[in-house]
Every structure is written in structure tokens, then in C-alpha cells.
Amino acid sequence: MRLYDTHVNFHAAQFAEAGLDADGLIDAARASGVRGFLAICDRWDHRDRPLVAAHGRHGVRATVGVHPHHAKDHLGLTKDDLVRHAEANETIAAIGECGLDLHYGYSALDQQLSVFRTHIEAARITGLPLVIHSRNADQVMIDVLQEAWSRGAFRFLLHCYTSGPELARFGLDHGGMISFSGIVTFKAAEAVRAIALQTPADRILVETDCPYLSPVPLRGRMNIPAHIVHVYDALARLRGEAPDSFAARVEDNVRSIFPGLVEAP
């Protein structure tokens, strides 16, 4: 099977502290059947880090964006900044990670909204998909996306889905994709599994969001891309699909939204 991890935080301090770099993480994952990786950007001032992870590696692409936790530090970011960076680097496959997080509140809501809207405009201009983080912000997220959609369509992915059915329905109704992480293996994640079961076959993606959220049976350890095999297995069982058929469907979805991830031989 050919597997794809659509959300890897290669920049995370946990990897560096453990002596792990992109080369080692990618090699270990490829040995487990992983063929494509999306290296996530979390801060504008760290925008070159995912490019380093992607440079010269088949099937590895990068994003550019600001996580909502860091919105307060990037209030001057403009859509032109994002567009220029994306257009100057062919390895950039998406805008983000960006969005809203009302769980931790590291940045105020008005700051998050301002920076998120900037990303939406950049995604619309470039045509690149938007990688959206949404936590404890379902209705606000729906309102923001609805308002933005009224001014023109854009492609998007709801990453590491933990929100409710209303946001999932909105995303699917507007052509979005939904990505699931190791959370689907957690005992208390019945609501997430219900949404994963109901997500159409042509809209589902898989990710680790590593180094966070290691799936069962590895929960409690630092997550790495190689662990995505457990997420694929859990989702295939949940949906009653043969593992190879499910993986093939996901590969088609990856090809449609992040074609560069499917270049690996």
C-alpha cells in the first residue's frame, strides 16, 4: 500500500530534542509504506523550515502559514506576503496551517480572525488549498468561512478533525476535505469516529499531526510519520473497507488536493 501523511510538524522542538531530523523520520516512514508527506509551517518567521524539509525530496511538499496560537505575533502579515512566498517556491502545496483555536486562547479571537482572513484571501488568489485548524470554534469558523465563501470560492481541508457534525457538513457542502489523525483510535473519540464513518470516500484524508497524537497502540509515545499505518488501519476497519482499497481511495484524494505528494516512486 502507498500511504500519505498530510500533516507533519517537522519543525517541532520534540523532534530536535530526540535527535530526529527529516531524513530519519522520512526514511523510517518510507519503510512502513509512507510515500508522501506535507511539511507544515506554523509561523511566518519560520517559513523556510518546511521548505528545508521538502527540498530535494520526492513526495514531500511544504505549506506556508501561521497557526492561530501565533496570530498575535503576525498581525502585520499580508495576503501579498503569503502569495509571493508561495509563488516563489514550487514545493509549496498549501496555505496554512491557519484557523481558529478557542481552547488555549494564546492569541485573542480578533487577532486570530484577522490573520485567518488573510490566509483565506491568499488561498483564493493562489488557488492553493487552505489547511484549516479549528478547535472549540465551530460556529465562529462556519461564520467566517461562509462570509469568505460569499466573496469567492476557495479550496480547503479541515485538518485533524475534532469538531462537530455541523462544521463537517459545512465543509463537505462547500467542497472541502476532512483529515483524521490518531484521535480516531482513542477510546473517548466516538463522535470523531462517527464523522469519519460518514465522510464520503472522495473527501477523506489521513495524517499524524506528529509529534502529537500517537495512535493506539502507541499512545503516550512521541508520534512519528511511520505511525500513520495505525491510523489507516483504524479508519479502514471503521469504514468496513479492505486496507488496500481504503489506501487507494486516500491516494486518489491526495492526488486531487496535493498532487506533489504522489511523485514518489
Domain boundaries, the chain: 3-262
The pTM score is: 0.97
pLDDT at 207: 98
Whether pLDDT at 232 is above 80: yes
Q: Is the pLDDT of residue 244 over 80?
A: yes
pLDDT at 160: 98
**C-alpha to C-alpha distance for 127 and 94, rounded to whole angstroms:** 9
- pLDDT(120) > 60: yes
- Inform me whether the pLDDT recorded for 264 exceeds 80: no
Which residues 6+ apart lie within 8 Å of 253 measured at CB? Answer: 177, 202, 203, 204, 205
Per-residue pLDDT at 200: 98
Distance of CA 98 to the CA centre of its chain: 10
Mean pLDDT, rounded, of the chain: 97
Cell numbers 527540498 correspond to what residue? Answer: 55
Cα distance between residue 207 and residue 1, in whole Å: 16
Indicate the residue type of 127: G
Instruction: Look at residue 265 and tell me whether its pLDDT is greater than 90.
Output: no
Contact 67, 133 (CB under 8 A): yes
Of the pLDDT bands very low, low, confident and very high (cuts 50, 70, 90), residue 239 is: very high
Angle of helix 165-173 versus helix 190-198 axis, rounded to 10: 20
CA atoms within 13 A on the CB side of 60: 23
Please state the rounded mean pLDDT for residues 223-234.
98
Distance, in Å, from the CA atom of 254 to the CA atom of 257, rounded to the nearest integer, reads 5
Q: What is the per-residue pLDDT across 41-56, written as a single tens digit (0 to 9) for each?
A: 999 999 999 999 999 8
Average pLDDT value for residue range 245-258: 98
Over residues 12-37, mean pLDDT: 97
Structure confidence by residue, pLDDT tens digits, 121-176 = 999 999 999 999 999 999 999 999 999 999 999 999 999 999 999 999 999 999 99
Give percent of the chain above pLDDT 70. Answer: 99
Q: How far apart are CA 242 and CA 222, in angstroms?
A: 28
| Residue listed under C-alpha cell 530519519 | 24
Which of 3.40.50.11710, 3.20.20.140, 3.40.50.2300, 3.40.50.740 is the CATH number of 3-262?
A: 3.20.20.140
